[in-house]
Chains A and B, each alone.
Chain A
Amino acid sequence: MTGSAILKTNGFNLYYGSFKALEDINIDIPENQVTAIIGPSGCGKSTFLRTFNRMNDLIPNVKVEGKIKMADQDIFDMDVVELRRRIGMVFQRPNPFPKSIFDNVTYGPRANGLRDRAKLEEIAERSLRGAAIWDEVKDDLNKSGLALSGGQQQRLCIARALAVEPEVILMDEPASALDPIATLRIEELIRSLKEQYTIVIVTHNMQQAARVSDYTAFFYTDESRTGILVEFALTKEIFTNPKDKRTEDYITGRFG
């Protein structure tokens, strides 16, 4: 593995009440790389992704065991607001707020206490450029974020996440609600973002994982419904020379 790991997961288990949804996950997310998480429906890949920024805290009765460390700090001991500033998230369905484009993209910095208008404008432009949507919206930043097309909304959401200057960006099937052309633009964007950010992306689409990611983790579940990590390796290893029979079956389309 090249470079260092930014998120280290060790012996991680997650329960919904008494139901064990994830078991013994060990994975080191490499810094400034794109890591894809793939696997059949219900294998817990989204649940796992949402563990990194503790979105699962919102769900009552979720219990976690094991450690996830970010720069040697256990994320479960960190201030959750601070954690979410360092680990941004893009959701499956574009979810811009019913506010103007400008207010959407500057939402995070303002929640952080920034009031200086010139600074906010600078952040808005930088973030919108970073998300490759600046040229399309620069003339009407006061337009509602909801008035944009689905693909534009998703890029706005990425810009909104960039504005907080996170170290890691989690993406939960960010293109699954988009058409092929919008999907392509999001994929291009993901590849360009890894210069500055670490990206973890959950995807249903194996071609997408192969196109955008450097590393791939394959999650799997059997009749027990408990998700496990079967294999984690360089993407080209996973797709050309999988070590595990289940990985091979999955990527060759024998199930899932």
Chain B
Amino acid sequence: MEIKYIIDRFIKYVLLIMALLSVFILFLIAVFTFREGLPAFQEIGWREFTLGTVWRPGQEQYGILAMIAGSVLVTLGAIVIGVPFALGCAIFLAEIAPDNVRKIVRPAIELLAGIPSVVYGLVGMVVLVPVIRKIPAPGNSGFGLLSASIVLAVMILPTITNIAEDAIRAVPRSYREGSLSLGSTHWQTIVNVIIPAARSGIIAGIILGVGRALGETMAMIMVIGNSVVVPSPLNDNPLTIFLRQARTLTGNIAVEIGYATGVHESALFATGVVLFGLIIVINSIARVLMHQRS
């Protein structure tokens, strides 16, 4: 009799400790990254580090603007390509697909999230890059922002689709019925009532997709070209900026950490700090929007 209450209490504490431990690990990672990055900020200076356009560790030049631009542009590209796609999937799954179709399509889309990043990179390298290379522009190697954006668009598809689908499903049935009862078509109902009512959830999904895109590393390294120059258009068509090779913040760390020492090493941790900050901001916005909904 007594013993089962002891076990009960014991288990409670074990679970509590496990939960606290995971929070503590997050805390440790944050502290460690900031501590390791701090010397770089002190040595180089905040402004010079984040706004400097030249990254030449050999000559003590540490400006990560090129990588910030790379990360931002590739994320932007992925959003432009991926969001319409993901929204289309979400609308299809929530509104149009019959149950048996949905039972196949939704797990398939979720499976996309389970494919290892390096496989995306590989497919991008072998299949996508040669296709992009065919676009006629001076200096177009196929590797670059466009290839990376397309790969990333597919990678963030499941995140956005899942959250957007849930948001669309959460729209009260009474809105749907009200619209249909007024003699509007299913599509008019989707566009005029359901999507606007699900808006904050859809935006939250997009923002979480942005967070995921910013953090992606391996696939980006494999298709983006990793050049450390601030991207600029290849010719007078400004869109050719997406054919330019670039490097992401995450790629910068992964490519160089193997041989970096001293300030260089610290600068890579500082890159991580910038990334950390960016993602915290992005996720907080998503959180606020998701709570607004309920």
Kindly identify which residue among B177, B182, B192 contacts A160, using a CB–CB cutoff of 8 Å. Answer: B182
B99 partner residues in chain A, CB cutoff 8 A: 60
Distance (whole angstroms) from the CB of A195 to the closest CB of chain B: 22
Establish whether residues B183 and A108, one from each chain, have CB atoms under 8 Å apart when the complex forms: yes
Mark each residue of chain B from 90 to 118: 1 if its CB lies under 8 Å from any CB of chain A, else 0: 00000000110000000000000000000
Establish whether residues B175 and A95, one from each chain, have CB atoms under 8 Å apart when the complex forms: yes
A55 partner residues in chain B, CB cutoff 8 A: 177, 180-181
Establish whether residues B178 and A91, one from each chain, have CB atoms under 8 Å apart when the complex forms: yes
* In the assembled complex, A75 has its CB within 8 A of some CB on chain B: no
Establish whether residues B179 and A107, one from each chain, have CB atoms under 8 Å apart when the complex forms: yes
Establish whether residues B179 and A97, one from each chain, have CB atoms under 8 Å apart when the complex forms: yes
Establish whether residues A85 and B183, one from each chain, have CB atoms under 8 Å apart when the complex forms: yes
Chain A, range 77-108, C-beta contacts under 8 Å to B:
81-82, 84-85, 88-89, 91, 93, 95-99, 107-108
A84 partner residues in chain B, CB cutoff 8 A: 180-183
Interface of B is mostly: helix
B184 partner residues in chain A, CB cutoff 8 A: 81, 107-108, 111
Question: Please, which residue of chain A has its CB at the minimum distance from the CB of B173?
Answer: A58
Question: Please, which residue of chain A has its CB at the minimum distance from the CB of B186?
Answer: A81
A82 partner residues in chain B, CB cutoff 8 A: 183
* In the assembled complex, A53 has its CB within 8 A of some CB on chain B: yes
* In the assembled complex, A112 has its CB within 8 A of some CB on chain B: yes
Q: In the bound complex, what is the Cα–Cα distance between A96 and B172 (angstroms)?
A: 11
Establish whether residues B177 and A111, one from each chain, have CB atoms under 8 Å apart when the complex forms: no
Question: Please, which residue of chain B has its CB at the minimum distance from the CB of A94?
Answer: B174
Chain A, range 103-126, C-beta contacts under 8 Å to B:
107-108, 111-112
Range of interface residues on chain B? 20 to 34
Establish whether residues B180 and A164, one from each chain, have CB atoms under 8 Å apart when the complex forms: no
Kindly identify which residue among A58, A81, A95, A97 contacts B185, using a CB–CB cutoff of 8 Å. Answer: A81
* In the assembled complex, B232 has its CB within 8 A of some CB on chain A: no
Kindly identify which residue among B177, B192, B193, B196 contacts A91, using a CB–CB cutoff of 8 Å. Answer: B177
Q: How many A-B residue pairs have CB under 8 A?
A: 65
Chain B, range 148-197, C-beta contacts under 8 Å to A:
172, 174-185, 188, 192-193, 196-197
B193 partner residues in chain A, CB cutoff 8 A: 97
B177 partner residues in chain A, CB cutoff 8 A: 55, 58, 89, 91, 95
Kindly identify which residue among A58, A93, A98, A111 contacts B182, using a CB–CB cutoff of 8 Å. Answer: A111
* In the assembled complex, A228 has its CB within 8 A of some CB on chain B: no
Distance (whole angstroms) from the CB of A38 to the closest CB of chain B: 22
Distance (whole angstroms) from the CB of A108 to the closest CB of chain B: 4
Establish whether residues A97 and B183, one from each chain, have CB atoms under 8 Å apart when the complex forms: no
* In the assembled complex, A161 has its CB within 8 A of some CB on chain B: yes
* In the assembled complex, A157 has its CB within 8 A of some CB on chain B: yes
Question: Please, which residue of chain A has its CB at the minimum distance from the CB of B180?
Answer: A84
Kindly identify which residue among B181, B185, B196 contacts A98, using a CB–CB cutoff of 8 Å. Answer: B196
Q: In the bound complex, what is the Cα–Cα distance between A88 and B192 (angstroms)?
A: 19
Question: Please, which residue of chain B has its CB at the minimum distance from the CB of A157?
Answer: B178
Contact A88:B182 (CB < 8 A) given known A98-B196, A111-B192: yes
Distance (whole angstroms) from the CB of A49 to the closest CB of chain B: 11
Q: In the bound complex, what is the Cα–Cα distance between A96 and B99 (angstroms)?
A: 29
Distance (whole angstroms) from the CB of B114 to the closest CB of chain A: 30
Chain A, range 203-246, C-beta contacts under 8 Å to B:
none
Mark each residue of chain B from 224 to 253: 1 if its CB lies under 8 Å from any CB of chain A, else 0: 000000000000000000000000000000
Most chain A CB neighbours (cut-off 10 Å) among B179, B183, B185, B197? B183
Establish whether residues B182 and A164, one from each chain, have CB atoms under 8 Å apart when the complex forms: yes
Extra inter-chain contacts (9) besides given A88-B181, A95-B177, A157-B178, CB under 8 Å: A55-B180, A81-B185, A95-B178, A97-B175, A107-B179, A108-B183, A111-B183, A112-B183, A160-B178
Where the two chains meet, the residues of A that have a C-beta atom closer than 8 Å to any C-beta of B are 53, 55, 58, 60, 81-82, 84-85, 88-89, 91, 93, 95-99, 107-108, 111-112, 157, 160-161, 164
Q: Could you pull out 28 A-B pairs where Cβ atoms are within 8 angstroms? A: A55-B180, A55-B181, A58-B176, A58-B177, A60-B98, A81-B184, A82-B183, A84-B180, A84-B183, A85-B183, A88-B181, A88-B182, A89-B177, A91-B174, A96-B178, A97-B193, A107-B179, A107-B182, A111-B182, A111-B183, A111-B184, A111-B185, A111-B188, A112-B183, A157-B178, A160-B178, A161-B182, A164-B182
Q: List 10 tightest A-B contacts by C-beta distance, closest first.
A: A85-B183, A111-B184, A95-B174, A108-B182, A89-B181, A84-B183, A95-B178, A111-B188, A81-B183, A81-B185
